[in-house]
Amino acid sequence: MKIEEVVNNLKPQMLKDKQYLWNNPEEGLKEYKTSSYIKNRLIDMGYTDINTNIYETGIVATLKGENSKNNPCILFRSDIDAVVMDDTGRLKHTCGHDAHMTILLSLAQLLIDNKSKLKGTVKLLFQPDEEGNGGASPMIENNALENPKVDKAFAIHVWSELKEDTIRNKAWTSYGFNRSI
């Protein structure tokens, strides 16, 4: 199956997820509805190893492939909190966190649909409070990167100012480069 077909098959659920998450923003460490929604979606997909309430509302779901022993553990991360708008006091997903969650939920579906082909373990981490106190450190302190130990971690961040079909590596700009690929 081509990737375009896979994405098109996931698109109806992606739109439902995005709409729900956009319409239900929650402040850091108060993402109770968001966390519940994510957990229920993962359960509906068939995930059974779901660790919840990590640093209040964080979630880590683990999927072991058929050949997971002695193979790497890869983690994919999404932030789940919304931003309080200074001018209105409203909560909004202005930084794309609703999109990040939607993408990670779609990846979760793709992975479980292809579990038999998975060589290793994948962890899906839904991090609270990214816009507040930086929920990554408390998630790590609560062993989100252990059992099994994570070998590599990946995250994305949507950036509406970039042209469509552009990927930008944040590390490049951190080192003084300004390059899109």
Mean pLDDT score, 56-62: 97
Measure the CA dihedral 38/42/45/50, to 10°.
-170
Evaluate if residue 169 carries a pLDDT over 70.
no
Q: Which of 113-117, 119-123, 166-170, 177-181 has the lowest mean pLDDT?
A: 177-181
pLDDT digits (tens, 9 = 90+) for 4-53: 899 899 999 999 999 999 999 999 999 999 999 999 999 999 999 999 99
Is the model's pTM score more than 0.85?
Answer: yes
Domains of the chain: 3-162 (3.40.630.10)
Q: In whole angstroms, what is the distance from residue 58 CA to residue 79 CA?
A: 9
The span from the CA of 139 to the CA of 18, in Å, is 24
